[in-house]
Amino acid sequence: MCEDAFCKIILIDMYVRRPMQYVGLHFYFKGDYDMEDKKPIIHLEKLGKEFKTSNGPIKALDDITLDIMEGEIFGIIGLSGAGKSTLVRCINYLEIPTEGDVFFEGKPLSKMREQEIQGVRRSMGMIFQQFNLLAQRNVLKNVCFPLELIGTPKKEAEDKARKLLEMVGLGDREKAYPSQLSGGQKQRVAIARALATDPKVLLCDEATSALDPNTTKSILELLKTINKNMGVTVIVITHEMAVIEAICDRVAIIDKSHIAEQGSVGEIFSNPKSKIGRQLIMGDQVHVRDFGGPTTRMVRIIFDGRASSEPVLANMILACKAPVNIMYAATKDINGTAMGQMIIQLPKDEVEEKRMINYLNSAKIPYEEVTENDL
81 binds, among ligand ATP, Mg ion, none (CB under 5 to 8 A by kind): ligand ATP
In the complex, least distance from residue 313 CB atom to Mg ion, rounded to whole angstroms: 39
Q: Which is nearer to ligand ATP, 204 or 346 (CB)?
A: 204
* Out of 8, 30, 43, 84, the residue judged to bind ligand ATP by CB under 6 A: 84
In the complex, least distance from residue 64 CB atom to ligand ATP, rounded to whole angstroms: 12
Phi-psi group of 62: left, alpha or beta (phi > 0 → left; psi -120 to 50 → alpha; rest → beta): beta
Torsion, Cα of 153, 157, 159, 164 (10° steps):
170
Q: Which is nearer to Mg ion, 30 or 84 (CB)?
A: 84
Site string for ligand ATP, 254-283 (x = CB under 6 A): ------------------------------
**Burial (CB count <10 Å: 0-12, 13-18, 19+), residue 96:** middle
* Out of 9, 19, 50, 51, the residue judged to bind ligand ATP by CB under 6 A: 51
Which residues from 80-119 bind Mg ion, rule CB under 5 A? 84-85
**Burial (CB count <10 Å: 0-12, 13-18, 19+), residue 213:** exposed
341 binds, among ligand ATP, Mg ion, none (CB under 5 to 8 A by kind): none
In the complex, least distance from residue 319 CB atom to ligand ATP, rounded to whole angstroms: 46
Q: Which is nearer to Mg ion, 60 or 344 (CB)?
A: 60
Assess 97 for contact with ligand ATP (CB under 6 A): no
In the complex, least distance from residue 90 CB atom to Mg ion, rounded to whole angstroms: 13
In the complex, least distance from residue 51 CB atom to ligand ATP, rounded to whole angstroms: 3
Q: Which is nearer to ligand ATP, 52 or 111 (CB)?
A: 52
In the complex, least distance from residue 84 CB atom to Mg ion, rounded to whole angstroms: 5
- Gap between the Cα atoms of 67 and 279, Å rounded: 24
Which residues from 201-240 bind ligand ATP, rule CB under 6 A? 239
Assess 53 for contact with ligand ATP (CB under 6 A): yes
**How many residues at the interface with ligand ATP, by CB under 6 A?**
14
Strand partners, 338: 333
Cα 330–334–336 angle (5° rounding)? 120
- When CB distances to Mg ion are compared, the closest residue is 85
Q: Which is nearer to Mg ion, 31 or 83 (CB)?
A: 83
How does strand 325-334 pair with strand 258-264?
unpaired
- Gap between the Cα atoms of 99 and 5, Å rounded: 32
Please, what's the b/e burial string for 266-301 (b: 16 or more CB within 10 A of its CB; e: otherwise)?
A: bbbbbbbeeebbbbbbbeeebeeeeeeeeebbbbbb
* Out of 31, 78, 100, 184, the residue judged to bind ligand ATP by CB under 6 A: 78
Assess 58 for contact with ligand ATP (CB under 6 A): yes
271 binds, among ligand ATP, Mg ion, none (CB under 5 to 8 A by kind): none
Q: Which is nearer to ligand ATP, 95 or 174 (CB)?
A: 95
Assess 80 for contact with ligand ATP (CB under 6 A): yes
Q: Which is nearer to ligand ATP, 30 or 84 (CB)?
A: 84
What is the binding site for Mg ion (CB under 5 A)?
84-85
What is the binding site for ligand ATP (CB under 6 A)?
28, 51, 53, 58, 60, 78, 80-86, 239
